[in-house]
Structure 1
Amino acid sequence: MTVRQLSLPELAKGLVELGVPGVGLWREPVAAHGLAATARLVRDAGLRVTTLCRGGFFTAEEPAERAAALDDNRAALDEAAELGTDTLVLVSGGLPPGSRDLFGARERIADALAELLPHAAERGVRLAIEPLHPMYAADRCVVSSLDQALALAGRFPAERVGVVVDTYHLWWDDRVADGIARAGAEGRIHSFQLADWTTPLPEGVLNGRGQIGDGAVDFRWFDREVRAAGYTGPVEVELFNEGLWARDGLEVLAETVARYRAHAL
């Protein structure tokens, strides 16, 4: 999504030329290119699909909506397995219209995870709960902190349900160091993602993630904490940014790699 202006073949070629060994994919461009064609493309390029994004949206109260969400997540697990990734990232869902019951919404997430677990295990895919910044709690994700994500994940085996550490969503939390250490000790860090927090936020904060080095996030601190917790997996950069999308995608790709080396390593 950082360079959504690129086609998947353009993206794969650009990554190979830059020496980047993997790519986190989103379901929409995969569907547009074709699931089998995408799996073949990344395989032929020698790339690893690090994660598939996204599943989730488990908080609906209406039975029909809930059943549809579960069916969609089963499909996402099938897609992840076809692409060869072991991790499906979950954006858990916000409050249903008219509801103020955060605790009830979180319990419905736990219920959904329990229902999906057998299918996930069958496909060899882990469920990775991504806490989102509290500003998204009402409409996108009632899981707002690493503590909350770990409380949900902790009800299930670590090899099946874990968490995403995303700097954009967690940089503000004074408990995040303890959460990272706990997640590492439990073997629950299933993905590590980078994006910067810049101010003022643009209109429509969903697309306000800053390029690495442009904002307030201490990426070296996060990298040090995550690695000290035992994480040795891939590091993804996930930027939703209208300004970046308006630029040449290959230029943005190269800039992102350079920024990662300059600010995170």
Structure 2
Amino acid sequence: MSLARFSINQMTVKQLSMPELVEACRELGVPGVGLWREPVQSYGVEATAKLVRDAGLAVTTLCRGGFFTAIDPDERARALDDNRAAIDEAATLGTDTLVLVSGGLPAGSKDLHGARERIADALAELGPYAAERGVRLAIEPLHPMYASDRCVVSTLAQALDLAERFPADQVGVTVDTYHIWWDDTAPAQIARAGASGRIHTFQLADWTTPLPEGVLNGRGQIGDGSIDMREWRSHVEAAGYDGPIEVELFNDALWARDGREVLAETVERFLEHAG
């Protein structure tokens, strides 16, 4: 078992500062990090890029772009501008993958189809801009419980239906176990994504019950829940994916602990359950 493909998503240990995260990764032999825009901006995009580069770390993804579903023209224009900035940040950090959370229903709307079409409209504008900068857009389907407020793209099939309107070097998908493990069509959709080179990142998080109130911060430490991580790894690898494997956890209990301890535990759990 090896850590060669392991990456820690920054959100898993968000209590660590950027220098603390980088140093902990170096101490534990973690080769990759998935970064989030807010802490990157706080530390400085250029400063972060130098910090991780000097430590020999690969930035596997940047989270997140998206939120494309607004109807108001000014809101849509602001969203596009923000996503162009996110693409520029990804390029500066040296990652080729910007993860997209597409956005929920606008206030008062019940039009899922219209919201998804507005996502496609945004991708048509942003895809070429990203490709020119060596960045791919990775649509992440979120569990259906998030459809109303965060992401109207709930399945890999829906994500691929959008992505396949565009070249694979512009738009692909994020495969995240937390969001798709329940879907018995997901393995076939992973194969579909792999056939056209659209698996842009693969992320792990476990599903534990009962979910906490609010559910957003309910991603379980791998090995604590219902998901067979090796099974899903086998699906993406059978589809041709051989890239980084990120562990991305939103979990209040983990955030309340020492971040270095959580990172060390996550390394152990990865090796035990997914390595």
SS where residue 32 of structure 1 aligns? helix
Rounded to whole Å, the distance in 1 between the matches of 2:269 and 2:127 is 37
SS where residue 226 of structure 1 aligns? helix
Opposite residue 88 of structure 1, the aligned amino acid is L
Q: Please state if 1:128 is matched with 2:138.
A: yes
Rounded to whole Å, the distance in 1 between the matches of 2:267 and 2:152 is 32
SS where residue 205 of structure 1 aligns? coil
Rounded to whole Å, the distance in 1 between the matches of 2:29 and 2:199 is 25
1:202-257 CA-to-partner distances (Å, cap 9, x unmatched) read 01100000000000111010011111110010000000000000000000000001
Specify every segment of 5 or more residues in structure 2 that has no aligned partner in the other structure, as ranges: 1-10
Rounded to whole Å, the distance in 1 between the matches of 2:196 and 2:241 is 11
Instruction: State the 1:264 CA deviation.
Output: 1.0
Task: Tell me the residue number matched to 2:61.
Answer: 51
Query: Structure 1-normalised TM-score?
Result: 0.99
Q: Please state if 1:219 is matched with 2:247.
A: no
Q: How many residues matched?
A: 265
**1:19 maps to which of 14, 25, 29:** 29
Opposite residue 175 of structure 1, the aligned amino acid is T
Task: Tell me the residue number matched to 2:269.
Answer: 259
SS where residue 63 of structure 2 aligns? strand
Written as runs of structure 1 = structure 2, the 5 A alignment for 1:30-69 is 30-69=40-79
Written as runs of structure 1 = structure 2, the 5 A alignment for 1:142-161 is 142-161=152-171
- Considering Cα pairs closer than 8 Å and 6+ residues apart, tell me whether 1 or 2 has the greater RCO: 2
Contact 2:131 2:169 in 1 (8 A): no
Written as runs of structure 1 = structure 2, the 5 A alignment for 1:1-265 is 1-265=11-275
Rounded to whole Å, the distance in 1 between the matches of 2:234 and 2:125 is 35
Opposite residue 103 of structure 1, the aligned amino acid is H
Hey, which bits of structure 1, 4+ residues long, moved more than 3 A? none
Instruction: State the 1:111 CA deviation.
Output: 0.3
Instruction: State the 1:49 CA deviation.
Output: 0.4
Q: How well do the aligned residues superpose, as a CA RMSD in angstroms?
A: 0.5
Rounded to whole Å, the distance in 2 between the matches of 1:159 and 1:68 is 25
Contact 2:141 2:151 in 1 (8 A): yes
Rounded to whole Å, the distance in 1 between the matches of 2:129 and 2:186 is 31
1:27-82 CA-to-partner distances (Å, cap 9, x unmatched) read 00001111111000000000010000000000000000000000000000000000
1:127-152 CA-to-partner distances (Å, cap 9, x unmatched) read 00000000000000000000000000
Opposite residue 209 of structure 1, the aligned amino acid is R
Instruction: State the 1:11 CA deviation.
Output: 0.5
Rounded to whole Å, the distance in 2 between the matches of 1:261 and 1:220 is 10
Instruction: State the 1:118 CA deviation.
Output: 2.1
